[in-house]
Amino acid sequence: MKAEVILMKCPETGRIYGVRAEERHGDWFRTWAFPIDARRASSEGFDRNEIKGSLDYTEDYNGCPYCKTKRMVICSRCGKLSCWNNEERITCGWCGLTGDVLTTEGDISVKGGSY
């Protein structure tokens, strides 16, 4: 089994968090999320991890450690992941772009999450 930690950001709090993702039969599944600061994420190399493919979540995935949502979106400008609370429009937690939601249904390519 292959596992990586990718970074996401909560638009409600502006804080980053790590998400452990496991590859299972060619698909990726989010299994656990945890708070982390930028310095530690960088020293662990989480900002350089890359995954490609679908990115669903397991039944016991705990979601964002700040707002508790399990849903996520990928920004059409910066390509990074943020939480999503089902609003039609969202402001990216990373770059601040406000726009229509671009969901992560289907295949994605996500790398790191520079700060």
Please report the pLDDT score of residue 47 as a whole number: 78
Please report the pLDDT score of residue 115 as a whole number: 37
Answer yes or no: is pLDDT of 104 > 80: no
Answer yes or no: is pLDDT of 114 > 60: no
Mean pLDDT score, 87-99: 84
Q: What is the pLDDT of residues 35-60, one digit of tens each?
A: 999 899 888 888 788 888 888 999 99
- The whole-model pTM stands at 0.84
Handedness of CA 13, 85, 30, 105 (dihedral sign): negative
Q: In angstroms, how far is CA 7 from the centroid of its own chain?
A: 5
Q: What is the pLDDT of residues 55-77, one digit of tens each?
A: 899 999 999 999 999 998 888 88
Mean pLDDT score, 25-34: 93
